[in-house]
Amino acid sequence: MKVVKFTALAALFVAVFVASIGFNVLAHEGAHYAVADLGGNHPEMHFTQPDDNISGFLSAESNIAYVQYESEHSETVGTDAAIAVAGPLANLVIACLGLLFYFGANRSDVSKILLLVLITASFVSFGVNILPISPNDGFYVWQFLF
């Protein structure tokens, strides 16, 4: 009986983990799109199919979704930095909202674990994307600042 319960819980954990990553990617790219659209940069959202091999899917060059927009400048300007920082900030907002739900009301142990999965995925996504390393968003933000 306990094996069945554990297997169902593990399947739920994996499903929430995959869904939280997908949700973070869509929110992240949606934020880029919204800020680019507000700036009149005519953004386009693109979705790609992952490669057949897992190493290509997990590489820094592969994107599940990405936004392209028109820019009149060859160097990074304030508008580009605002578009770049919007994605990681969306992940940070998701993490903070998850924390509010986590501490908000009495929750079962399972729901707390699942919320922690969402919170962790969101904070990791924020942290990785804000790093000042190309092709991360943080590269363009830091390039503008310094």
Express each pLDDT in 44-68 by its tens digit.
887 776 555 444 444 445 567 778 8
Average pLDDT score, the chain: 83
Q: Which domain holds residue 110?
A: 2-145
Global pTM value: 0.81
Contacts of 106 (CB under 8 A, 6+ apart): none
pLDDT tens, position by position, 80-117: 899 999 999 999 999 999 999 999 888 888 889 899 99
Q: What is the reported pLDDT for 80?
A: 87
Find where tokens 């590269």 sit: 139
How many domains does the structure of the chain reveal?
1
Rounded to whole angstroms, the Cα distance separating 100 from 9 reads 23
Is residue 5 predicted with pLDDT exceeding 60?
yes
